[in-house]
Structure 1
Amino acid sequence: MGWQPLQGTKPDQKLPLVASLYVLAPLVIWGLLKIEGSSLHNYGLIWSFSLFISLTKGLILAVVGLGIIFFLEGILTWVHWQPKNLTRAFFLSSPLLIVALWVGITEELIFRGIFLSQLSQEYGFWVAGAISSLIFALLHLLWERQQTLPQLPGLFLMGMVLVWARAIDHGSLGLAWGLHGGWVWGLALLDSAELMSYSDSGLAWVKGIYNQPLAGLAGILCLLGTAWGLNLLQ
């Protein structure tokens, strides 16, 4: 692929690179568990009915948050909706949900599972959460440099919200998995089905620099609203 990490990735390199990483990551995690003699339970992944209840709550909270933000942006004419593409969205929704859940559980197991649990032994839960969230944000620079830089504060805050989700879910990754998967699913569906497009109106720093929600005030407010919603779930 000719990938050079210090230079980011080109569009034609990103898809095969990302796909290979999400295929290899579970194998690396499995190897780590074997070496440590531990299990997924130690990192917050406990297969039980309560996990799927938390997963569902996270999905709903994530989609509702995105819906509110983009609904308000539609009222302000910052985005234009394309209802003619609803049929396309319907057919894409299930496969995209599967992909989003895979991405969500992989990243949550790594960052809010392994990293957070290991770092907590040395630095305490919240310092470990901040460190793992910083790593989570900075690693996104590997994919795309220019558009990711303005998103770094939002990505860090996203990481901390997901840390908070694990904390209030009594150490389980269910809620964080649902939130992460829901955000990925919602944004991927809007983009892939072309359900909306950004207009030229509105301030970039509010709606998102380069049309990236996490690079604007709207995305930050969505995350803060999610944190408030999580607080209500306690």
Structure 2
Amino acid sequence: MFFLFILITFFEPSVNVLLAFLENAPPLVIVMAFFICWIVCWLPIAAVVAILLNWQPTKPLQPEQKMPLLASLYLLAPLILWGVNWLTNKSFSDYGFVGNLSTLSSLVLGFGLGVVSLAIVFSGQFWLGWCSFEKRNFKLLLPILLPIFLIALLVGGIEELVFRGFLFTELAQDYPLWVAAAISSLIFALLHLVWEQRETAPQLPGLWLMGMVLVLARFAASGNLGLAWGLHAGWVWAIATLDTAEVIIYTGKVSDWFTGKNKKPLAGLAGIICVLGSGVIIWLFSRYF
């Protein structure tokens, strides 16, 4: 305890200077500080996880290797953001992340919209003969529904907190709202290249559009992230479940630019229509959210 007291006393002037700087720092500096701290703090964890998983840098990440790395990255984000909030005298509620009944109801509504929008798009593709269902794999769906649901909630919640919450809110202090939305959505899309460049590159326009629609969802919910979180989680849950169980089979009757390059809906016309349609619904019914 005595050593800790000496340590705090020694560093107190530096901490006070840092606090004073961050309280008056431009939003862009705060954003950069967050992302730098996030990556710097995660790299040692990632190195340990990679060693435990026997990952070879010359080989691509396998799904069972990617998941622990992704989980460690995402679980670290709220802690880093909490530290930034402490230094800048802010809270998660300033970014639209509020723990109340309104958030829960918006979350459920957004999740339902995300799942239904994808169901409509895949039904349309099935009717047009662009895809078919592998009925033998339906039995694989039940065991994976809950685990993927929990992962989707985690991924959706943290990405919304970081990108539509923290990043968009900070940028909106210096830029017009539409510019802040465009920049935060662009960063959101580009950061997906970290994991899989070849499969992600064709999805960049779709990911950017997805980010813009999720910003719209936050506006529709009066700044609350619940609707955007639910919509994001619904899309992740539905797509990941179908991919994991390999239920969808593409017939090849049309170019994969219609159904999605590399079997990724956001890399094709169908995914773009799904995201745009969800955005139109949110805009038309925004008064009810």
The TM-score range, normalised by the shorter chain, is: over 0.9
1:97 matched to 2:173? The reply is no
Q: Distance in 2 between matches of 1:172 and 1:31?
A: 22
| Deviation at residue 75 of structure 1 after TM alignment | 1.8
2:117 maps to what in 1?
65
Gaps (5+ residues) in structure 1?
A: none
Please say which of residues 87-96 and 165-174 is displaced more in the overlay: 87-96
1:11 matched to 2:61? The reply is yes
Q: Distance in 2 between matches of 1:104 and 1:207?
A: 24
| Deviation at residue 78 of structure 1 after TM alignment | 2.0
8 A Cα contact 1:8 1:141, kept in partner: no
Q: Distance in 1 between matches of 2:80 and 2:255?
A: 43
Q: Distance in 2 between matches of 1:158 and 1:195?
A: 24
| Deviation at residue 136 of structure 1 after TM alignment | 0.3
| Deviation at residue 229 of structure 1 after TM alignment | 0.9
Cα separation, partners in 2 of 1:134 and 1:55, compared to 1, 3 Å: same
Q: Distance in 2 between matches of 1:20 and 1:186?
A: 23
Q: Deviations for 1:168-192, whole angstroms, at most 9, x for unmatched residues?
A: 1100000000010000000011111
Please say which of residues 122-131 and 105-114 is displaced more in the overlay: 122-131
| Deviation at residue 200 of structure 1 after TM alignment | 2.4
Please say which of residues 57-66 and 194-203 is displaced more in the overlay: 194-203
Cα separation, partners in 2 of 1:9 and 1:180, compared to 1, 3 Å: farther
Give me the TM-score of the superposition, normalised by structure 1. 0.93
1:177 maps to what in 2?
229
1:215 matched to 2:267? The reply is yes
Gaps (5+ residues) in structure 2?
A: 1-49, 52-56
Kindly report structure 1 stretches of 4+ aligned residues shifted beyond 6 Å: none
Q: Distance in 2 between matches of 1:8 and 1:46?
A: 43
**Aligned match of 2:186 in 134, 157, 165?**
134
Q: Where in structure 2 are the equivalents of 1:36-115 lying within 5 Å? A: 36-115=88-167
Q: Distance in 2 between matches of 1:142 and 1:223?
A: 23
| Deviation at residue 125 of structure 1 after TM alignment | 1.7
| Deviation at residue 33 of structure 1 after TM alignment | 1.8
- Matched to 2:61, the amino acid is P
| Deviation at residue 92 of structure 1 after TM alignment | 1.5
**Aligned match of 2:197 in 145, 148, 152?**
145
Local SS of the residue matching 1:170 = coil
Q: Distance in 2 between matches of 1:23 and 1:57?
A: 25
2:13 maps to what in 1?
none
Q: Distance in 2 between matches of 1:76 and 1:233?
A: 29
2:21 maps to what in 1?
none
8 A Cα contact 1:112 1:163, kept in partner: yes
Cα separation, partners in 2 of 1:15 and 1:94, compared to 1, 3 Å: closer
- Matched to 2:116, the amino acid is V
1:160 matched to 2:197? The reply is no
**Aligned match of 1:191 in 238, 243, 248?**
243
Which structure has the bigger radius of gyration? 2
Local SS of the residue matching 2:252 = coil
Percent identity for Structure 1 against Structure 2: 48
Please say which of residues 13-22 and 90-99 is displaced more in the overlay: 13-22
Cα separation, partners in 2 of 1:214 and 1:196, compared to 1, 3 Å: same
8 A Cα contact 1:8 1:142, kept in partner: no
| Deviation at residue 11 of structure 1 after TM alignment | 2.3
Number of residue equivalences: 230
Q: Which has the higher contact order (CA 8 A, sep 6+)?
A: 1
Local SS of the residue matching 2:213 = helix
- Matched to 1:26, the amino acid is P
Q: Distance in 1 between matches of 2:71 and 2:250?
A: 28
Please say which of residues 34-43 and 129-138 is displaced more in the overlay: 34-43
Q: Deviations for 1:67-96, whole angstroms, at most 9, x for unmatched residues?
A: 011111112222221233333212211221
**Aligned match of 1:205 in 257, 269, 276?**
257
Q: Distance in 2 between matches of 1:233 and 1:31?
A: 37
